[in-house]
A and B are shown apart, each in its own frame.
Chain A
Amino acid sequence: MAAMAVQAPRSSKTESYVDNKRKDDIRMANIKAARSVADAVRTSLGPKGMDKMISTASGEVIITNDGATILNKMEVLQPAAKMLVELSKSQDVVAGDGTTTVVVITGAFLKQCQTLLHAGIHPTVASDSLHKTSMKAVEILTAMAVPVELSDRESLVKSASTSLNSKVVSQYSSLLAPLAVDSVLSVLDPAKPDLVDLRDVKIVKKLGGTVDDTELVKGLVFDKKVSHAAGGPTRVENAKIAVIQFQISPPKTDIEQSIVVSDYTQMDRILKEERNYILSMIKKIKATGCNVLLIQKSILRDAVTDLSLHYLAKAKILVIKDVERDDIEFITKTLNCLPIANIEHFRAEKLGYANVVEEVSLGDGKIVKITGIKDMGRTTTVLVRGSNQLVLDEAERSLHDALCVVRCLVNKRFLIAGGGAPEIELSRQLGAWSKVLHGMESFCVKSFAEALEVVPYTLAENAGLNPITIVTELRNRHAQGEINAGINVRKGQITNILEENVVQPLLVSTSAITLAAECVRMILKIDDIVTVR
């Protein structure tokens, strides 16, 4: 049956040779474009991978090692190359880590496809075999995986630090890894143990200090100053916090209005009235015992005026203004309070309680910390520090990856070895499996199995090792049954990678393989690019 497929393209080619040539050209052009994208990020794979400096159109400079970010900023135009960018985004959404790996694997698959197509294999045959390969690969990976319990904090930390090791901030992995694990575990809802909403982990960046100063805050952090223009308090203990969505400023109606002043005495009266109006509002607030106000930003009018700040300061109320509406949900969830939209509804039961609210100077700026919150919701905040903006951004991205890794483990509680071990094992087992298959399929599966060796090969290459020696050595060790033998980049040799604590979530590996396969199949199936409006 498959033998038929071999002859087939040749016979149909004789009929309309020119037509097929064009299609092959488009396919080859797509593959080429996609491969060149893959080659661009190849060098950033692994713990000794290099970083890329990207200067965006707006003149901003980004230094990163994160595949998804690099591709995202590359602004490629060719449709097939764009698909690779999408691919890395998908991996980011699904697993959060392995964004470079997925692109490198895709590149390797495409390279094999090129050879297969040259040998006269029909694209659909190659595509189907690739699907089978990826199915089998997931099976093999699942068999290799080691189950992990969420109570096993050490394993979680290990896998988070594996992810962090390939980043700029790798020297801080001993600090960031436990931090990531703790923050994810603290937002885990016991009622829904498989789901983690990473939106419950807020990352606040603040320039200054070093990455060492990054900390997990059990509470809230605002990257804002306390509004104390009028000398209000900057530290409040036993805080009663209100989140308000109205403004403490002179009244303003939606109907256009103007106040007509006809003589001097009236002017005084109006000023006095304004004062009384604000004062009465503040009295109502004070009456509930509230001493910290978080005021939502308003586009319609000033949230606070100098006058109201003055009175609030007198009433010893700490004010944080310009809170974004989008953040209100997070804040109210954390503080376990309700937002208040009208002064009339200002009641004590809507307040949140915390031990300390204080303004802290950090580097060149100030932040507000709310800690010791009573009945705190399942949220957490991470305050990231860094000596310059580039490090800070990269630290945030790396931390995000680490958080995702932990999330993956919560979703699918299996660990797998890192350091190229799973890929080499896959390559070996798939190679063996291909011998059981028949015809064309066997040929395709075999070449895709070889393609998977690209990961250890690139790892070794990036680490400055001799890739050929390393890969052949690895193959040898795996053939002898050491399924966890992988590249130890630090020592520059092959060791049992599980003992070296280099582990990653199973989900990262499986999704990398399936997504890469899906993307390659899509590229293979395309035979024309049509320009449309």
Chain B
Amino acid sequence: MITCGVEKLFKDEATEEKGERARMASFVGAMAIADLVKTTLGPKGMDKILQSTGRGHSVTVTNDGATILKSLHIDNPAAKVLIDISKVQDDEVGDGTTSVVVLAGELLREAEKLVGSKIHPMTIISGYRMAADCARRALLDRVKDNKDDAEKFRSDLMRIAMTTLSSKILSQDKEHFAKLAVDAVMRLKGSTNLESIQIIKKAGGSLKDSFLDEGFILDKKIGLGQPKRIENANILVANTAMDTDKVKIYGARVRVDSMAKVAQIEGAEKEKMREKVQKIIGHGINCFVNRQLIYNFPEELFADAGILAIEHADFDGIERLALVTGGEIASTFDNPESVKLGHCKLIEEIMIGEDKLIHFSGVEMGQACTIVLRGASFHVLDEAERSLHDALCVLSQTVNDSRVLLGGGWPEMVMAKAVDELARKTPGKKSHAIEAFSRALIAIPTTIADNAGLDSAELVAQLRAEHHKEHSNAGIDVIIGSVGDMSELGISEAFKVKQAVLLSATEAAEMILRVDEIITCAPRRREDRM
């Protein structure tokens, strides 16, 4: 594009879009993304197949908004903004990843109409801001906080977990999994460090066979001829080469004149390895976990010393193990006093399904626990892990911020009502934008109803009428397909999730609305990389 006599402002192949066209491009992109994940919203939302174009054409089946968006090929800048907010939502609160994108999409859809009727984007933005603020206050008015009552709080957590899980693959056994998740999170005692909750997936059995176990489970085998059960274990976690009996000196080369000397050198090499093993044993341990291979020779030495040696534990595995047993990962063994050993009460071999695993129980870090997931196939297991992760995230956030709302479209209706009232009081063009905000909010219960194959127009109208009364608990009961009392049905959501959805969706919409020019830089050439 050439403007005002400037010959060439950008590089070749760089493009520029301005004004109306730029805005259209962002609106269209953002709405396309929102429509893509829209059908996965709610307890009766549908799944998507993600087919990878990479090698193997692996297939993932998922209902998790963040997972779908993360793996998309996207070129549209505005669409990328939406993907980002869903990612942030996933990291921050773990759930509501679909809702945030759908809400942002709806806000933009409304904004498009307003822009069409010649309202300046800045007016829309300030209207949205007022509406978002008002909506947040409306939610704050209606939150419940049961922090002081432990029993009620636990039942709140159960409800939240069940609500989160009901839109996932685990919905059939949601009570079982809600209990698992709540138990696991309660063990954390307020910390949000989900790393100490380990999730192990084992194919076979059914989802109902999943269980929570205290301690840590390592999916490895114990070396040959070594004890299979150790009490009061002192564990040394290490990352050191024990794979070949090798002490290599780089570039070194020896010249000898007889076979006996070669044998001597070989013997010396063996001796080195033996020394290393002796040093390790010298730490006063009875369990040795190495990230790298432990070859036959050292393995035998450990077996002779009655030490349980585990080879080839994955990186994640040893880091967690070090964390939960209170040890440190060591790689040199010259100063036994400076190495921190891990401790646990009991190490033993257990069988899950057909596989043997090593169970560390009574570990130093009391809050550590392991959830073993069982399921028919890897598709199911992967999706179950994602769902459970969402539930765990939400719960751990709720433990810190114990404010709770009802679910099933209830918060949206409460907000919409408050925003509508605000619109009526606000003079000027802004009131159109505020009204639009309330329409966008109502789109969420509408989508939930649509996905469940219900008559959304009818239901939402009923819902609005219900909410016209003061302090109504009405929401959409998807199972029965009518308006129901959410507090009786036990459908709850965390305040933190809703607040994050509201604020980040508004922010994202605002950001995209502000755009009036898109500059696409020229793609980097292959030669440039050289």
B378 partner residues in chain A, CB cutoff 8 A: 86
Q: Is the CB of B351 within 8 A of A195?
A: yes
What's the nearest-Cβ distance from chain B to residue A85, in Å?
10
B457 to chain A, nearest CB (A): 7
Given contacts A93-B204, A260-B255, contact A341 B297 (CB under 8 A): yes
Query: Taking CB as reference atom, which chain A residue is nearest B249?
Result: A255
Which secondary structure characterizes the binding site on chain B? mixed
Contact residues in B for A525 (Cβ distance below 8 Å)? 46-47, 63
In the docked arrangement, what's the CA distance between A93 and B355, Å? 12
- Inter-subunit contact B257/A261 (CB<8 Å): yes
Chain A stretch 209-259: residues in CB contact (< 8 A) with chain B: 245-246, 250-259
User: Which residues of the partner chain B approach A274 to less than 8 Å between Cβ atoms?
Assistant: 259
Q: Which of B480-516 contact A (CB under 8 A)?
A: 480-482
Contacts of B350-379 to chain A: CB distance below 8 A: 351, 354, 376-379
- Does the CB pair B49–A342 fall under 8 Å? no
Tell whether A530 pairs with B260 under 8 Å between CB atoms, given A195-B351, A255-B248, A345-B304: no
For the complex formed, measure the closest distance between the CB of A166 and the CB atoms of chain B, giving whole angstroms. Answer: 23
CB distance from B390 to the nearest CB of A (A): 17
Residue pair A256, B252 in contact (C-beta under 8 Å): yes
Residue of B with least CB distance to A6: B453
CA distance in complex: A514, B61 (Å): 19
Q: Is the CB of B269 within 8 A of A254?
A: yes
**Chain B CB within 10 Å — which of A270, A515, A522 has the most?**
A522
Contact between chains at B224 and A255 (CB < 8 Å): no
C-alpha gap A30/B51 in the complex (Å)? 13
Most B CB within 10 A of own CB, among A79, A198, A332, A338: A79
A277 at the interface (CB under 8 A from B): yes
| Stretch from B239-247, B330-338, B396-404, B466-474 at the A interface | B239-247
- B296: Cβ under 8 A from any A Cβ: yes
Which one of B71, B254, B295 lies within 8 Å of A256 (CB-CB)? B254
Stretch of B52-60, B114-122, B154-162 on the interface side: B52-60
Do residues B266 and A87 form an inter-chain contact, with CB atoms below 8 A? no
Q: Which residues of A contact B256 (CB under 8 A)?
A: 257-260
Contacts of B480 in A (CB 8 A): 1
CB pair B73 A12 closer than 8 Å:
no
Contact of B53 among A5, A245, A257, A533 (CB under 8 A): A533
B455 contacts partner chain A, Cβ-Cβ < 8 Å: yes
| Interface assignment of A154: CB less than 8 Å from any CB of chain B | no
Contacts of A253 in B (CB 8 A): 254, 262, 265-266, 269
Rounded to whole angstroms, the CA-CA distance of A529 and B46 in the bound complex is 11
User: Which of B59, B63, B224, B249 is within 8 Å of A338, CB to CB?
Assistant: B224
From A89, A255, A260, A518, name the one whose CB has the most chain B CB atoms within 10 angstroms: A255
- A8 at interface by CB-CB < 8 Å: yes
Q: Which residues of B contact A1 (CB under 8 A)?
A: 480-482
Q: Is A11's CB within 8 Å of the partner chain B?
A: yes
Residue of B nearest to A198 (CB): B354
Taking CB atoms, residues of chain B closer than 8 Å to A8 are 452-455, 481
A428–B527 Cα distance when bound, in Å, is 71
Complex: A76 Cα to B40 Cα, angstroms = 27
B325 to chain A, nearest CB (A): 26
Contact of A12 among B46, B172, B456 (CB under 8 A): B456
Residue in A89, A251, A338 whose beta carbon sits within 8 Å of that of B266 in the complex: A251
Number of interface residues of B (CB under 8 A): 75
Chain A residue nearest to B480 (CB atoms) is: A1
Residue A356 lies at the interface, judged by CB distance under 8 Å to chain B: no
Tell me whether A125 is interfacial, beta carbon within 8 Å. Answer: yes
Contact with B along A51-84 (1 / 0, CB 8 A): 0000000000000000000000000010110110
Of the residues A258, A329, A332, A528, contact of B36 by C-beta under 8 Å: A528
Within 8 A of B (CB), among A480-520: 514-515, 518
Return the contact of B73 from the options A19, A30, A531 (Cβ within 8 A): A531
Q: How far is the CA of A124 from the CA of B450 in the complex (A)?
A: 12
> Would you give the 0/1 interface string for B273-314, flagging 1 where the beta carbon is closer than 8 Å to chain A?
000000000000000000000011101110110000000000
Of residues B205, B263, B301, which shows the largest number of chain A Cβ atoms within 10 Å of its Cβ? B263
Report the Cα distance A340→B224, complex, angstroms: 11
Q: Is A262 an interface residue (CB 8 A)?
A: yes
Inter-subunit contact A531/B48 (CB<8 Å): no
Cβ–Cβ < 8 Å partners of A2 in chain B? 481
CA distance A255 to B263 in the complex (A): 12
**A259 and B48 form a contact (CB under 8 A):** no
A243 to B, closest residue via Cβ: B224
Chain A residue at minimum C-beta to C-beta distance from B304: A345
Contact A90 B266 (CB under 8 A): no
Q: Given A339-B296, A530-B49, A533-B53, is A257 in contact with B376 using a C-beta cutoff of 8 Å? A: no
Nearest to A124 among chain B residues (CB) is B44
Which residue of chain A has its CB nearest to the CB of B47? A525
Q: Which of B48, B248, B453, B458 contacts A125 (CB 8 A)?
A: B453
> B380: which A residues are within 8 A, CB to CB?
518, 522
Least Cβ–Cβ distance between A21 and chain B, in angstroms: 14
Residues of A close to B245: CB separation below 8 A: 254
A83 vs B248: C-alpha distance in the bound complex, in angstroms? 49
Q: How far is the CB of B294 from chain A (nearest CB, A)?
A: 11
Whether a CB of chain A sits under 8 angstroms from the CB of B422 is: no
Is the Cβ of A4 less than 8 Å from the Cβ of B296? Answer: no
* A residues 72-124 in Cβ contact with B at 8 Å: 77, 79-80, 82-83, 86-87, 89-90, 93-94, 122-124
Q: List the A side residues contacting B59 at CB < 8 Å.
A: 79, 82-83
A381 interface hit (Cβ, 8 Å)? no
B296 touches A296 (CB 8 A): yes
**A261 to B376, alpha carbons, bound, how many Å?**
66
B191 within 8 A of A: no
How far does the Cβ of B527 sit from chain A's closest Cβ, in whole Å? 24
Does A300 interact with chain B (Cβ within 8 Å)? yes
* B61: chain A residues within 8 A (beta carbon): 83, 522, 526
**Given A89-B377, A122-B452, A342-B300, A270-B73 contact (CB < 8 Å):** no
Report A1-39 residues with CB < 8 Å from chain B CB. 1-2, 4-5, 7-9, 11-12, 15, 19, 23, 30
B455–A527 CB distance below 8 A: no
Specify which chain A residues have a CB less than 8 angstroms from the CB of B379 in the assembled complex. 83, 86, 522
Q: Is the CB of B262 within 8 A of A259?
A: yes
With A9-B453, A11-B455 as known contacts, state yes or no: A277 contacts B258, CB within 8 Å.
no
A4-B455, A12-B455, A254-B245 are contacts. A526–B204 as well, Cβ < 8 Å?
no
Residues of A contacting B263 with CB < 8 Å? 251, 277
B253 within 8 A of A: yes
B39 close to A (CB within 8 Å): yes
Asked if residues B453 and A254 are in contact (CB atoms below 8 Å), the reply is no
Q: Report A-chain residues with C-beta under 8 Å of the C-beta of B458.
A: 11
Q: Which residues of B contact A375 (CB under 8 A)?
A: none
Cβ-defined contact, A340 with B300, below 8 A: yes
In the complex, chain A residues whose CB is within 8 Å of the CB of B303: 338
B24: interface (CB < 8 Å): no
| Interface residue? B225 (CB, 8 A) | yes
A253 to B48, CA, bound (A): 57
Indicate whether B340 reaches chain A with its CB closer than 8 angstroms: no
Which A residues lie within 8 Å of B39 (CB)?
Answer: 23, 527-528
Which residues of B are found within 8 Å of A79, using beta-carbon distances?
A: 49, 51, 59
B binding-site residues for A, Cβ under 8 Å? 35-36, 39, 44, 46-54, 57, 59, 61, 63, 68, 71-73, 172, 203-206, 224-225, 244-249, 252-260, 262-263, 265-266, 269-270, 295-297, 299-301, 303-304, 351, 354, 376-380, 450, 452-458, 480-482
Known pairs A266-B257, A529-B48; list 4 more (Cβ under 8 Å).
A2-B481, A86-B377, A255-B249, A339-B300
Q: Which 9 A-B pairs have the closest CB atoms?
A: A122-B453, A273-B259, A532-B71, A245-B296, A527-B46, A341-B296, A341-B300, A251-B263, A254-B246
- What are 23 residue pairs bridging A and B, where the CB atoms are less than 8 Å apart in the complex? A12-B453, A15-B457, A19-B35, A23-B39, A83-B379, A93-B203, A192-B351, A245-B297, A251-B265, A254-B248, A255-B249, A257-B262, A266-B257, A296-B296, A328-B224, A514-B206, A515-B376, A526-B46, A526-B49, A527-B47, A529-B48, A530-B49, A533-B73
